[in-house]
Amino acid sequence: MKNLLAPSTLEFTHTKNPAALAEMERAEILADPGFGKHFTDHMVDICWSARGGWHRPRVQPYGPIALDPAAAVLHYAQEIFEGLKAYRHPDGSIQSFRPEANARRMQRSAVRLALPELPTEYFIASLRALIAADADWVPDAPETSLYIRPFMFAKEAFLGVRPAEKVNYYVIASPAGAYFPGGVTPVSIWLSTDYSRAGRGGMGAAKTGGNYAASLVAQAEAYDQGCAQVLFLDSEEGRYIEELGGMNVVLVKKDGTLVTPESSSILEGITLDSILQLAQDRGHAVERRRVSIDEWKDGVASGDITEVFACGTAAVVTPIALLKGRDFSVGDADAPAGELTMSLRQELTDIQYGRVADRHHWLTRLDA
Ligand code: PLP
Ligand code: COI
- 248 pocket-lining for ligand 1 (C-beta < 6 Å): yes
Whether 272 is in the pocket of ligand 1, judged by its Cβ within 6 Å, is yes
Confidence of residue 5 (pLDDT cuts 50, 70, 90): low
Percent of the chain residues past pLDDT 70, beyond the cut: 98
Q: Which residue has the higher pLDDT, 125 or 183?
A: 125
Name the residue of 105, 146, 179, 215 whose CB sits within 8 Å of the most ligand 2 atoms, as the mutation to test its pocket: 179
Name the band, by pLDDT with cuts 50, 70 and 90, for residue 264: very high
- Domains of the chain in start order, with CATH, are 7-176 (3.30.470.10), 187-352 (3.20.10.10)
Ligand 2 cavity residues, CB under 6 Å:
83, 246, 312-314
Q: From the CB of 79, is ligand 1 less than 6 Å away?
A: no
Kindly state the average pLDDT of the residues 12-22: 97
* 170 CB-side CA count, 13 A: 18
Counting ligands in written order, the one closest to the CA of 212 is 1
- Atom 8, ligand 2: residue with shortest CA distance: 246
- pLDDT of 9 reads 61
Contact predicate 42/134, CB 8 Å = yes
> What is the end-to-end Cα distance of the chain in Å, rounded?
30
In 10 A of CB 74, how many CB atoms?
16
pLDDT value at 4 more than 60: no
Q: Dump pLDDT digits (tens) for 86-116.
A: 999 999 999 999 999 999 999 999 999 999 9
Neighbours of 274 (CB within 10 A): 22
d(CA 274, CA 283): 14
Ligand 1: nearest atom to the Cα of 274: 14
Top mutation candidate among 96, 100, 207, 244 for ligand 1, by most atoms within 8 Å of CB? 207
Measured CA to CA, the distance from residue 116 to residue 109 in angstroms comes to 10
Phi-psi region of 24 (alpha: psi -120 to 50; beta: other; left: phi over 0): alpha
pLDDT in tens, 230-256: 999 999 999 999 999 999 999 999 999
7 pLDDT higher than 80: no
Q: How far is the CA of 67 from the centre of ligand 1 (A)?
A: 28
Q: Band of the pLDDT at 10, cuts 50, 70, 90?
A: confident
CA distances, 291 to each of 203, 266, 288, 320, 362 (Å):
20, 13, 9, 16, 29
Contact of 262 with 250, CB cutoff 8 Å = no
83 lines ligand 1 (CB under 6 A): yes
Decide whether any atom of ligand 1 lies within 6 Å of the 206 Cβ: no
Top-confidence residue, 56 or 7: 56
